[in-house]
């Protein structure tokens, strides 16, 4: 036996020992298949190194060698079944043929020729069939599995070539030298092909993983971002499955409503036990999982996995930083296509998918914000146009109505005079609503033009209260303070708050206005004893077009408090609301003081016309139909 053949058999023996050690350290279907195949080849190499290719005189050892040779197609069939589940009949047929060939070989000289014929047919039919199945599956496979199947096909074809070369070397003396060299080359190809297909080294596996991750990254870079994260998306799991060679992939996202992770095509009723599913456990524990046999790993959902034709699962959490999205899982009908060594690559892909989902979420929010801004701009333009178009004819209408009111007031027709006065009052309310809508447009565009000057806040409040005529409510103004403000705007805020207090309070109920302050802030507190505000109202009452729960069936556009809040903000102050103890509402205006003392005011500044600047006797005024709340 020459040195090349010795080196070849020593190499197979080394691969056999290494495969057995690996199967013991990391038990699994793939490592076991590799240990069986390379173990058989290693045992044959030992016998060949000891006895050569001649027939062994010891019948037991000769039978063992025959059994090992004939078992090679069975071992390869088991490897193939690890990638694609074969029909049960194929395995039975191969086992029966192996037993028949072995029985004929052990029968001795009477059946020697029969044994040789059966063995040759078994080898030269069985091995090409396995090679053909490997090649056929390699054409359908993708990604990492395709690489492995290609090398397994090369190894099987090389094994067939080695068998042919051995036969030619034995029975065709003329071709013996060429056949000897061909056998060596085919044996080398067999070892390399099966080594890379069954137990690829870490460097080769990392190269394949790099290609898989790169393919997924290319897909993510080209994927559209303008979708919500919860939108069912099969492109990501399909590309990941294709890159890793898995038949099926799923991106299961967390669903708070069912407290489980579900893919876009799943329904919670399709999963017998959502909380114990592998995908959900990976999400909860944030640990990747390789489940070679899902029926033992998750027996509660065994029926579901059977419907999916799934036996093996590879799953990793889709998480970036503290943001958890769900689970990325790969499903296979057999354990040969996936292994625990694929977990690091899948984890890297899952992190990239999480990053993509964050980018998609941000993009969706940007698109939504842009759409809302555009809608708000269109709404503002519409309000401005309508308000402007309404204000001009309304002004003319009010002039004519006021002229009519003066004329009827000088006549004895009191009924018509009252009707015209009501018309004037309604017109004023419409005017106030138009002005409020224009203020909304200004507030949204940041176009409030405020002239800040030192003012006596009590004087501003008294002027607003004095404009409310026809006594029906008792309004009391107490205290005094000064601040640097836009008097017209502050008067507008007080007007809006008083309109609300009057509108949602019963007749003759008191309304208290308290003005005070210190060296840094001045305050105006308006309290009523009306219907009050709910806890939910307190969080939304200052939003645009938002009205309190008590105002849902009342008039008003729900913009008065919004505009008031913006005015006070522009002054650098705050406007807050709270529930008044005993019923009703309390609104607090806080304004920064930029003058040390309030401006000197006449002693007679109260509506009560007395000399006490801190107290005012109540005055009865009507309940107006304001539009603030």
Which residue, of 399, 420, 444, is where some domain finishes? 444
Determine the straight-line distance between the first and last CA of the chain, rounded to whole angstroms. 103
Domain boundary residue among 306, 340, 361? Answer: 361
Mean predicted confidence (pLDDT) in 605-621: 39
Q: Is the pLDDT of residue 106 over 70?
A: no
Question: Does residue 262 share a domain with residue 220?
Answer: yes
* Across 220-244, average pLDDT: 72
Average pLDDT, the chain: 78
Q: Do 291 and 411 fall within a single domain?
A: no
DSSP 584-600: SEEEEEEEE--SSSPPP
Residue 136 lies in a domain: yes
Q: Are residues 459 and 425 in the same domain?
A: no
Q: What is the pLDDT of residue 595?
A: 44
Q: What is the pLDDT of residues 205-227, one digit of tens each?
A: 899 999 889 988 888 888 777 65
50 and 107 housed in the same domain: yes
SS3 575: strand
pLDDT at residue 619 greater than cutoff 50: no
444, two tokens: 């949204």
Q: Please check whether residues 356 and 388 belong to one and the same domain.
A: no
pLDDT at 587: 93
Question: Tokens standing for 254?
Answer: 């967390």
According to the model, what pLDDT value does residue 448 have? 59
Helix residue ranges per DSSP H, 172-201:
176-198
| Segment of 225-239, 257-271, 359-373, 604-618 carrying the highest mean pLDDT | 359-373
> HSE of 211 in the Cβ direction (CA atoms, 13 Å)?
15
Does residue 628 lie within any of the structural domains? Answer: no
Encoding tokens for residue 27? 């038990």
Q: Is the pLDDT of residue 528 over 50?
A: yes
Residues 456-493: tens digit of each pLDDT:
999 999 998 887 754 577 888 999 999 999 888 899 89
Residues 161 and 310 both lie in one domain? no
pLDDT score of 348:
92
Query: Which pLDDT score, from 0 to 100, does residue 458 have?
Result: 92
Q: How confident is the model at residue 232 (pLDDT cuts 50, 70, 90)?
A: very low
The predicted model gives 56-72 an average pLDDT of: 76
Query: Would you call 513 helix, strand, or coil by DSSP?
Result: strand
Q: Which of 13, 9, 30 is nearest to 205 (CA)?
A: 30
Residue recorded with tokens 């944030």: 286
Residue 416 has pLDDT above 60, yes or no: yes
What mean pLDDT do residues 238-246 have?
88
**525 lies in the same domain as 507:** yes
- SS3 assignment, position 522: strand
Residues sharing a CB contact under 8 Å with residue 139, sequence separation 6 or more, in sequence order: none
| Same domain flag for 505 and 530 | yes
Domain for residue 226, yes or no?
A: yes
Mean pLDDT of 596-608: 38
Residues 597-622: what's their mean pLDDT? 39
Residue 626 lies in a domain: no
Angle between helices 560-570 and 487-503 (to 10 degrees): 150
Full DSSP string of 35-75: HHHHHHHHHHHHHHHHHTTSPPSSHHHHHHHHHHHHHHHHH
What is the predicted pLDDT for the residue at 229? 47
pLDDT at 183 over 80: yes
pLDDT category at 428 given cuts 50, 70, 90 is: confident
Instruction: Report whether pLDDT(613) > 50.
Output: no
pLDDT class of 589 with cuts at 50, 70, 90: very high
Domain of residue 318: give its range.
208-361
Beginning with the edge strand found earlier in the chain, give each strand of the sheet holding 260-262 in spatial order: 260-262, 248-255, 323-332, 312-320, 289-291
Residue 355 sits in a domain of what CATH number?
3.30.450.40
Q: Output the CA angle 500-501-502, nearest 5 degrees.
A: 90
User: What is the predicted pLDDT for the residue at 200?
Assistant: 86
Residue 410 has pLDDT above 70, yes or no: yes
- How many other CB atoms are found less than 10 A from the CB of residue 19? 25
pLDDT at 500: 84
- CA distance linking residue 171 with residue 162, whole number of Å: 14
In this prediction, residue 533 carries a pLDDT of 83
| Residue 37 and residue 62 in one domain | yes
Q: What angle do CA 180, 35, 126 make, to 5 degrees?
A: 55
Residue 629 domain flag: no
Which of 152, 156, 87 lies closest to 124, judged by CA? Answer: 156
In the chain, what percentage of residues exceed pLDDT 70? 80
pLDDT value, residue 413: 75
Greater confidence, 57 or 430?
A: 430
Residues written for the chain: 629
DSSP assignments along 313-339, one per residue: EEEEEEEETTEEEEEEEEEESSGGG--
176 or 515, greater pLDDT = 515
CATH of the domain at 535: 3.30.565.10
318 and 256 belong to one structural domain: yes
- The string of DSSP letters for 241-265 reads HHHHT-SEEEEEEEETTTTEEE-TT
Q: Please name which of 50, 107, 32, 43 lies closest in space to residue 71, comparing C-alpha atoms.
A: 43
User: 597 with 481: CB under 8 angstroms?
Assistant: no
pLDDT (tens digit per residue) in 258-316: 777 777 556 666 677 777 788 889 999 999 999 888 888 888 888 888 888 888 899 99
> Residue 606: its pLDDT value, please?
36
- At 618 the three-state DSSP class reads coil
What is the per-residue pLDDT for 23?
A: 84
- Is residue 627 domain-resident? no
Strand, helix or coil for residue 266: coil
The better pLDDT of the pair 135, 114 is held by 135
The total number of structural domains that make up the chain: 4
Instruction: Examine the fold and report which residue of 417, 444, 471 is the final residue of a domain before the chain moves on.
Output: 444
The verdict on 216 and 269 lying in the same domain is yes
**512, pLDDT greater than 80:** yes
Does residue 245 sit within a domain? yes
- Banded model confidence at residue 442, pLDDT cuts 50, 70, 90: low
Mean pLDDT score, 18-32: 84
Q: Which phi and psi angles does 96 have, rounded to 5°?
A: -65, -45
* Shared domain check, 372 and 350: no
Asked whether residue 236 is assigned to any structural domain, the reply reads yes
With bands split at pLDDT 50, 70 and 90, how would you rate the model's confidence at 109?
low
Q: Are 215 and 239 in contact (CB under 8 A)?
A: yes
Quick one: CA dihedral 299, 36, 146, 356, positive or negative?
positive
Minimum mean pLDDT range among 310-319, 335-344, 350-359, 603-612: 603-612
Q: Is pLDDT of 627 > 80?
A: no
Mean pLDDT of 193-200: 86
pLDDT in tens, 123-175: 777 777 777 877 788 788 888 888 888 888 888 888 888 888 888 887 788 88
Query: Domain containing 179 — which CATH number?
Result: 1.20.1070
- Residue 108 pLDDT exceeds 70: no
């Amino acid at each position: 036996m020459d040195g090349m053949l010795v080196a070849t058999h020593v190499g197979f023996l080394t691969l056999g020992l290494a495969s057995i050690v690996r199967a013991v350290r990391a038990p699994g279907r793939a490592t076991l298949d590799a240990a069986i195949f390379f173990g058989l080849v290693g045992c044959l190499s030992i016998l060949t190194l000891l006895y050569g290719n001649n027939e062994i005189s010891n019948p037991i050892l000769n039978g063992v060698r025959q059994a090992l040779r004939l078992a090679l197609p069975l071992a390869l069939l088991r490897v193939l079944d690890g990638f694609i589940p074969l029909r049960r009949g194929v395995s039975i047929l191969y086992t029966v043929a192996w037993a028949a060939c072995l029985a004929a070989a052990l029968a001795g000289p009477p059946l020697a020729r029969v044994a040789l014929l059966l063995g040759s047919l078994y080898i030269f039919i069985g091995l090409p069939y396995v090679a053909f199945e490997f090649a056929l599956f390699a054409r359908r496979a993708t990604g990492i599995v395709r690489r492995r199947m290609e090398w397994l096909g090369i190894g099987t074809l090389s094994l067939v070539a080695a068998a042919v070369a051995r036969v030619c070397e034995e029975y065709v003396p003329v071709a013996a030298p060429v056949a000897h060299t061909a056998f060596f080359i085919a044996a080398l190809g067999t070892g390399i092909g099966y080594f890379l297909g069954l137990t690829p080294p870490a460097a080769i596996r990392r190269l394949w993983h790099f290609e898989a991750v790169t393919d997924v990254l290319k897909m993510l870079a080209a994927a559209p971002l303008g979708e919500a994260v919860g939108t069912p998306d099969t492109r990501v799991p399909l590309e990941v499955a294709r890159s890793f060679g898995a038949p099926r992939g799923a991106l299961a996202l967390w669903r708070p409503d069912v407290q489980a992770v579900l893919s876009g095509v799943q329904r919670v009723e399709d999963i017998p036990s959502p909380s114990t599913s592998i995908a959900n456990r990976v999400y909860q524990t944030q640990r990747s999982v390789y489940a070679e046999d899902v029926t033992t790993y998750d027996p509660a959902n065994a029926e579901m996995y059977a419907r999916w034709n799934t036996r093996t699962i590879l799953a990793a959490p889709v998480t970036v930083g503290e943001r958890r999205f769900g689970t990325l899982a790969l499903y296979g009908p057999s354990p040969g296509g996936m292994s625990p060594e694929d977990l690091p690559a899948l984890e890297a892909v899952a992190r990239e998918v999480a990053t993509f989902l964050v980018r998609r979420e941000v993009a969706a929010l940007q698109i939504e914000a842009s759409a809302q801004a555009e809608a708000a701009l269109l709404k503002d333009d519409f309000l401005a146009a309508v308000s402007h178009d309404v204000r001009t004819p309304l002004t003319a209408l009010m002039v004519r109505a006021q002229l009519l009111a003066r004329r009827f007031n000088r006549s004895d027709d009191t009924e018509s005079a009252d009707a015209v006065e009501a018309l004037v009052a309604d017109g004023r309310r419409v005017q106030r609503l138009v002005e409020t809508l224009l203020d909304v447009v200004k507030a949204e565009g940041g176009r409030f033009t405020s002239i800040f000057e030192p003012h006596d806040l009590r004087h501003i409040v008294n002027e607003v209260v004095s404009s409310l005529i026809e006594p029906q409510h008792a309004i009391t103004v107490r205290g005094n303070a000064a601040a640097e403000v836009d008097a017209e705007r502050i008067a507008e805020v007080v007007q809006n708050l008083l309109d609300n207090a009057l509108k949602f309070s019963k007749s003759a109920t008191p309304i208290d206005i308290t003005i005070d302050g210190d060296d840094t802030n001045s305050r105006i507190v308006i309290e009523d004893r009306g219907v009050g505000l709910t806890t939910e109202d307190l969080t939304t009452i200052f939003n645009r077009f938002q009205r309190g729960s008590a105002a849902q069936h009342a008039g008003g556009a729900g913009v008065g408090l919004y505009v008031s809040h913006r005015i006070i903000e522009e002054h650098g102050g705050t406007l807050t609301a709270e529930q008044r103890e005993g019923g009703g509402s309390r609104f607090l205006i806080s304004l920064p003081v930029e003058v040390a003392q309030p401006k000197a005011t006449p002693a007679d500044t109260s509506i009560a016309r007395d000399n006490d600047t801190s107290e005012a006797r109540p005055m009865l005024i009507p309940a107006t139909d304001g539009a603030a709340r």
